[in-house]
Structure 1
Amino acid sequence: MQDGYMNAPVDLADALSSFDEPWSPRTVALLNEYDVRVVKTRGEFTRHSHPDTDEFFLVLRGSLTIRMDSGDVTLGPGQMYVVPRGVPHQPVSVDGADVVLIEPSETVNTGDTPSELTAERRPL
């Protein structure tokens, strides 16, 4: 990705193999003012919400549970879910998962709850 524009197809497996840190999303493409991000998950993430935006999750590998007050949603490979704006949620993956996220470029991964897992925006 150069200057925010793709100049070649993105291989998501290659993108995911370029880093090891869980909960450290990498931006692989831009879609209008939205980032398409890949992230490796393992363990529990910070419970948080995004007051101004929905959050899209698509599991590529593994299993991801999104804990919410209204009930947990568990996703496997090929399954996706959109957490509505303002809904507190906590992604959890005991055995790890590879996930695609789509959210506005300025969105901070820990939303309204900064923590040690807050990551800076990192384009690949």
Structure 2
Amino acid sequence: MAASGIDLAAVLASFDETWSPRTVSTVNDYDVRVVHTRGEFTRHSHPETDELFLVLSGSLTIRLDDGDVTLGPGQLYVVPRGVHHQPYAPDGADILLLEPRETVNTGDNPGALTAPRREARPA
């Protein structure tokens, strides 16, 4: 069977839920995830790991205690481990995340937006 690339746009088009990441691939023990965002997410931290955010479309603000980081398409930011952050996308954004497989999306603050680990279904 021949290898093929992953069509991130097709994966994102396959679901509508916001703040519910889909794992599209793995790199060692890390998940590559895509997620639709809109509005405010839970303020949280990941005590054991950094978290990479790469904006694919739209605009995402990451609220930090030291000031906000606003990202547009093609821009990324790594939230250091243990740093409280709150993603916010008033008009919505599609994001690629890189984080360890066991990382829960709401980190140390579980609640209504906690999502189970889901793998994307191939097209």
TM-score by length of 1: 0.94
Report what 1:74 is aligned to.
Answer: 70
CA–CA separation in structure 1 for the residues paired with 2:75 and 2:111: 28
How far has the Cα of 1:115 moved from its partner? 1.0
* Mapping for residues 1-124 of structure 1, pairs under 5 Å: 7-124=3-120
Tell me which amino acid in the other structure corresponds to 2:67: G
Identity %: 72
CA–CA separation in structure 1 for the residues paired with 2:109 and 2:4: 35
Structure 2: give runs of 5+ residues left out of the alignment.
Answer: none
What's the C-alpha RMSD, in Å, of the aligned pairs?
0.6
CA–CA separation in structure 2 for the residues paired with 1:50 and 1:90: 12
- Please give the per-residue CA displacement for 1:70-98, whole angstroms capped at 9, x wherever unaligned: 00000000000000000000000000000
- Please give the per-residue CA displacement for 1:53-85, whole angstroms capped at 9, x wherever unaligned: 000000010000000000000000000000000
CA–CA separation in structure 1 for the residues paired with 2:111 and 2:15: 21
Structure 1: give runs of 5+ residues left out of the alignment.
Answer: 1-6
- Please give the per-residue CA displacement for 1:37-63, whole angstroms capped at 9, x wherever unaligned: 000000000000000000000001000
- Give 4+ residue runs of structure 1 displaced > 4 Å after superposition: none
How far has the Cα of 1:8 moved from its partner? 2.5
The count of aligned residue pairs is: 118
CA–CA separation in structure 2 for the residues paired with 1:27 and 1:91: 19
CA–CA separation in structure 1 for the residues paired with 2:4 and 2:53: 24
TM-score by length of 2: 0.95
